[in-house]
């Protein structure tokens, strides 16, 4: 009897432990440790497109503005997002991009952000030794369990934010995605890495060619001709970025499955006194999107991440819960065995010859 009681107790405790483990997996481990930016994130995506217009900085430096304007140049971008360090729910993430035109490098950037590993938003409260961009909003991706709403996105070139507006739900490479759109009006480029790839100043004689090339309306050309002598020599240049972007996001994992961008950079000058930007000519006008292979890879990554979340957050908890319940039920069915009864000795019978 005592042995069965002990077995019942052990079985009930084991079953309860399994059920408790199921709850811990579903409601603690999964939301706190699984559904967040992994500490081993290292993802590279490729993009291709065309520079409808591209200014050759070397030709500009020579003063040969006419030869500097290139058209219909094939381009490519390689982008790598990597988790460099983590501290609890905080991550130091790098966003490296390399752009080429007809195979020749034209721009290389490497931004680092401190982000919340769950919301993916930039944070100011991070370890003091992390050297990061003072950003706001989403920087490298969307949060897990993305919503049908407008997010705030960071534009590193202009160091400003822009709305990321939910537009629709669409299937992309076999996975369901939320589609978000972003539009940036012409905004001053202020990032030093981007500006390093653009001519900082040009001789007055070079800018004088702008009016002759017919890139400005007649009235604007006359105003610029009057303004030019007041700008010094060489003339410092400023730049704006205008952009229209579309992103396809796997909602559960926040993975960017596809991206399409149309961007226009315009060179101009700053009017003395007023500080107004006077646009002169486009230095790049480009449209590009993720390559089919990168879209397929992103979709595969999204499905793998989904399977991992399902395993830890749903399948294992269900299995543990069911097994725990069965163990408890089996334990309670163990019967108490009655003590074995000792048979009574046979009654004395009289001798046969009595």
Tens digits of per-residue pLDDT, 77-118? 999 999 999 999 999 999 999 999 999 999 999 999 999 999
Q: How do residues 275-332 score in pLDDT, each as one tens digit?
A: 889 898 889 999 999 999 999 999 999 999 888 887 877 788 788 778 878 878 887 7
Mean pLDDT of 106-133: 97
CA dist., res. 41 & res. 305, Å (int): 12
Question: Where are the strands (E) in the chain, listed by range?
Answer: 42-55, 69-87, 90-101, 104-116, 151-155, 160-172, 175-188, 201-202, 235-236, 238-250, 255-270, 277-290
Q: Which of 119-123, 230-234, 333-337 has the highest mean pLDDT?
A: 119-123
Q: pLDDT-based confidence at 153, cuts 50/70/90?
A: very high
- Can you give the pLDDT at residue 354? 46
Mean pLDDT of 265-270: 92
- Can you give the pLDDT at residue 319? 83
Tell me the CA distances in angstroms from 213 to 24, 29, 65, 67, 202, one per residue in order.
70, 64, 9, 11, 16
- Can you give the pLDDT at residue 14? 80
Q: pLDDT-based confidence at 347, cuts 50/70/90?
A: low
Tokens 């971008």, residue located: 77
Decide: 179 and 211 in contact? Cβ < 8 Å: no
Q: How do residues 172-219 score in pLDDT, each as one tens digit?
A: 999 999 999 999 999 999 999 999 999 898 888 888 877 666 567 777
Average model confidence (pLDDT) across the chain:
88
Closest CA to 142 of 170, 179, 98: 179
First to last CA, the chain: 47
Decide: 213 and 199 in contact? Cβ < 8 Å: no
CA dist., res. 15 & res. 9, Å (int): 10
Decide: 92 and 83 in contact? Cβ < 8 Å: yes
Q: Is the pLDDT of residue 352 over 60?
A: no
CA dist., res. 298 & res. 108, Å (int): 23
Q: Is the pLDDT of residue 30 over 70?
A: yes
Task: State pTM to two decimals.
Answer: 0.85
Q: Is the pLDDT of residue 119 over 60?
A: yes
Q: Which has more pLDDT, 31 or 297?
A: 297
CA dist., res. 337 & res. 138, Å (int): 66
- Can you give the pLDDT at residue 1? 55
């Amino acid at each position: 009897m005592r042995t069965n009681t002990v077995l019942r107790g052990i079985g009930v405790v084991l079953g309860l432990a399994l059920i408790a483990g199921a709850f811990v997996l579903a409601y603690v481990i999964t939301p706190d440790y699984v559904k967040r930016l992994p500490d081993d994130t290292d993802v590279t995506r490729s993009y291709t497109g065309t520079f409808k217009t591209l200014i050759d900085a070397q030709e500009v430096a020579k003063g040969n503005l006419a030869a500097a304007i290139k058209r219909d140049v094939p381009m490519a971008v390689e982008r790598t997002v990597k988790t460099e360090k983590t501290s609890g729910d905080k991550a130091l993430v790098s966003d490296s991009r390399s752009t080429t035109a007809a195979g020749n490098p034209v721009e290389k950037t490497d931004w680092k952000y401190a982000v919340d590993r769950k919301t993916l938003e930039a944070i100011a409260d991070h370890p003091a030794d992390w050297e990061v961009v003072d950003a706001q909003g989403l920087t490298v991706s969307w949060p897990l369990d993305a919503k049908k709403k407008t997010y705030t996105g960071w534009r590193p070139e202009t160091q400003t934010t822009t709305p990321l507006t939910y537009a629709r739900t669409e299937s992309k490479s076999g996975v369901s995605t939320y589609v978000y759109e972003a539009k940036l009006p012409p905004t001053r480029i202020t990032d030093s890495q981007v500006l390093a790839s653009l001519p900082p100043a040009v001789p007055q004689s070079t800018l004088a060619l702008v009016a002759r090339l017919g890139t400005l309306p007649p009235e604007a050309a006359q105003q610029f001709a009057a303004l030019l002598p007041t700008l010094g020599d060489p003339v410092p240049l400023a730049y704006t970025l205008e952009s229209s972007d579309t992103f396809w996001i796997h909602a559960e994992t926040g993975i960017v499955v596809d991206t399409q961008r149309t961007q226009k950079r315009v060179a101009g000058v700053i009017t003395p006194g007023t500080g107004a930007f006077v646009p002169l000519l486009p230095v790049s006008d480009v449209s590009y999107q993720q390559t089919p292979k990168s879209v397929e890879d992103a979709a595969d990554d999204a499905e793998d991440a989904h399977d991992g979340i399902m395993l830890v957050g749903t399948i294992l908890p269900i299995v543990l819960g069911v097994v725990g319940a069965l163990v408890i039920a089996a334990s309670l069915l163990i019967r108490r065995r009655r003590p074995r009864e000792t048979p009574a000795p046979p009654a004395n019978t009289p001798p046969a010859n009595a």
